[in-house]
Amino acid sequence: MSGPRRIGVAILGYAFMCKAHSHAFKSIPHFFYPPPAIPDLVVVYGRTEEKVKLAAANYGFRKYVTDWRKAVDDPEVEIVDNCLP
C-alpha cells in the first residue's frame, strides 16, 4: 500500500499571504488523517529576486522565480495559489 500522493504547489507572491498559505499547506497532514495528498512546495514567484529568494528559504520552497509564467508552466506544479495583491 502506498501513501498519499504528493501534489506540487506554486505560490504567486511572497509576502504575508504566502507565509500564511505555505504554513497552511504544510499543516494539511496534521489536520486531515489520512491526508488526501501531501502538498509539495515547489516554487514561489516574486518580482524582487532578493526578497523571493529569502521567502523560498524561509517558507520551504525548492525553487523561486521572478517570472510568474515559469511558476505556472512548471511541470511539477499542479496547484497555483495566487497570493498577489
| pLDDT confidence bin for 33, thresholds 50/70/90 | confident
Percentages helix, strand, coil for the chain (3-state, rounded to 5) are 40, 25, 35
Task: Kindly report the backbone phi and psi dihedral angles of residue 6, in degrees, each rounded to the nearest multiple of 5, phi listed first.
Answer: -90, 140
Give the chain's domains with CATH numbers: 6-82 (3.40.50.720)
Q: What is the DSSP string of 26-41?
A: HHHHHHSSS-S-EEEE
Task: Examine the pLDDT at 1 and tell me if it is beyond 70.
Answer: no
The pLDDT assigned to 64 comes to 99
Q: What is the pTM of this model?
A: 0.93
Average pLDDT on 64-77 reads: 99
The more confidently predicted of residues 33 and 44 is: 44
- The model's confidence at residue 15, banded by pLDDT at 50, 70 and 90, is very high
The rounded Cα 22 to chain-centroid distance in angstroms is 6
